[in-house]
Amino acid sequence: MGRHSMFPSAPNFRDLGGLRTEDGRKVRHGVLYRSEAPSVFDPEDLNRLGTLGIRLVCDLRNPAEIAEDDPVVEGTRRITIPVLPEVRTGGPDLIRELISDHTGGLARANMIRSYSTMPAVFEPYFAGLITEILDGNLPMLVHCTGGKDRSGFVVALLLAAVGVEFDAIVADYELSRKAMDRNAIRRLLVGPTGRSGLAENTEISDEVLDAMTVDRAYLKAVFEAAADRHGSLEQYIEVAGQLDADRRSRLRDALLE
């Protein structure tokens, strides 16, 4: 399985396997996946997803975003971990406001604000997520709605915690720009599957759509916000993840070859 999706209906799905650490190890293939929400998968792809042996699904959406009929990946247990405050998860009023600025300036500023809130919201849950991994609940799928922002942050933290090279972390994050093109971003926002309640033919400028995809500046903002909480990104990972030497070593052995 390569660094691109094996599921036509879920282009942002990928296996994190193969990413190199600073000391020459690699993330194991088939243990850590990231994706958009399972509701995006068509029935055939959802069935194929169930053949990967995934044991734990880490859903980063807030409860209000999860539909009662949300599909369940066969054979998995799902945990929900909020990464954004409820008010920042893209409600209709906020989306209408953001797309009203055709320059994309409001959308970009909102993305940076949203990313900057993630470390504080996620901090109480980070150690528990690591414990799930140490308890053998792998393979694991991490997802949010589009699989780019909240998933990008949490996956980046896990990769950093096991020593994956920073450039490799950024490169993985930026793969979502190709997977989530303007049309995909539009589908997240408007139409029958969108979150705004706006009609499918609602005008959204290319500048707004571009601002709502991934950007290295957003990843920089979230890392800086994490560092501000504990002095450095590494200290955030160590404190929030309760990563003493033993837990760090066990986490590396669980995720790396």
Q: For residue 143, what are the domain limits? A: 12-253
Give the model's pLDDT for residue 23: 97
Residue 85 zone, left/alpha/beta (φ > 0; ψ -120 to 50; rest): beta
Mean pLDDT lowest among 63-67, 79-83, 224-228: 63-67
Residue 2 lies in a domain: no
Which amino acid would we find at residue 217? Answer: A
**CATH code (residue 147):** 3.90.190.10
The count of domains in the chain is 1
pTM: 0.94
Domain-embedded: residue 206 = yes
The answer to whether residue 92 sits within a structural domain is yes
CA distances from 172 to 14, 156, 196 (A): 9, 9, 28
The per-residue pLDDT for range 7-53, each reduced to its tens digit, is: 999 999 999 999 999 999 999 999 999 999 999 999 999 999 999 99
Q: Is residue 192 a part of any domain in this protein?
A: yes
Question: Which tens digits make up the pLDDT trace of 216-246?
Answer: 999 999 999 999 999 999 999 999 999 999 9
Determine, yes or no, domain membership for 41. yes
Q: Does residue 7 sit within a domain? A: no
- Residue 1: inside a domain: no
Q: Are 213 and 207 in contact (CB under 8 A)?
A: no
Q: Is residue 3 included in any domain, yes or no?
A: no
- pLDDT value for 94: 82
For residue 1, the model assigns a pLDDT of 46
